[in-house]
Amino acid sequence: MKTANHITVSILLVGLFMAADAQARSHQPVRRGHPTHVIPTPRPHFKSSVFIPIVRPPVVTRHIVTLPPRHTIVMPAPVVIHEPTVTVWISNANGSMNSVVLRRQGLWYVGPRGEHYVTMPTQDQLRPLYGLDCGPVEAEKVSVYITTDNGAMRLITLTRTRDGFLGPKGELYRQMPTEAQLRMVYGR
């Protein structure tokens, strides 16, 4: 019973709103060929002692905001700072490679053992101090020193086979491995 009463009241209210809307539109003159924008003022509707104000939503106006163009900022060219260290690679007699890290100290290049060079030293200048004298490649066992991540020197013994060089962990290298290849496996 309550639901029927609610439906009846809802239908009556919708009818009242429609009647009020029709009444509000009937007072506005309509010109043919021109769009009509009607914004009626709120008017009370009286019927059987029920006061229902009729209110239209406000008209929303959209504004387009444009920003002024941005100014271009020109930055000066960056200052080039030379690296404080330089790495020189040395080719050893057995085909392996060693790296020697030199520090820049003013106009000098300083080696890992503290020796000073006026100009950038060549491989031939660094090989007597930092190169490996491993003997010929034909030897059955080849010993190579590598620098580990913490800076220590580690001896790696490779065995020459018919297919290449075999490392201590059983890995096979087709050619004599470089220090960088060995450091990935044994330098940690």
- Considering only CA atoms, which of 181, 124, 112, 116 is closest in space to residue 152? 112
Query: Is 50 or 167 the better-scoring residue by pLDDT?
Result: 167
When computed from its CA atoms, the radius of gyration of the chain, rounded to whole angstroms, is 46
Strands 50-54 and 85-91: unpaired
Percentage of the chain beyond pLDDT 90 is 2
- Considering only CA atoms, which of 85, 76, 81, 92 is closest in space to residue 112? 85
Asked whether the predicted pLDDT for residue 117 surpasses 80, the reply is: yes
The overall average pLDDT reported for the chain is: 77
Query: Per-residue confidence at 23, pLDDT binned at 50, 70, 90?
Result: low
- d(CA 175, CA 134) in angstroms, rounded, equals 15
The reported pLDDT for the residue numbered 108 is 85
pLDDT digits (tens, 9 = 90+) for 25-72: 665 555 555 555 555 555 555 555 555 667 777 777 777 777 777 777
Asked whether the predicted pLDDT for residue 142 surpasses 80, the reply is: yes
Query: Per-residue confidence at 152, pLDDT binned at 50, 70, 90?
Result: confident
Which helix (H) or strand (E) element contains residue 86? strand 85-91
pLDDT digits (tens, 9 = 90+) for 85-107: 888 888 887 778 888 999 888 88
The reported pLDDT for the residue numbered 11 is 81
Chain mean position to CA 92? 41
What integer is the mean pLDDT of 159-181? 88
Asked whether the predicted pLDDT for residue 16 surpasses 80, the reply is: no
CA distances from 167 to 38, 137, 144, 155 (A): 91, 15, 11, 12
The domain locations on the chain are: 2-22+35-54, 85-186
Asked whether the predicted pLDDT for residue 18 surpasses 60, the reply is: yes
Asked whether the predicted pLDDT for residue 137 surpasses 50, the reply is: no
CB 168 within 8 A of CB 156: yes
**Tokens at residue 15, please?**
């009818």
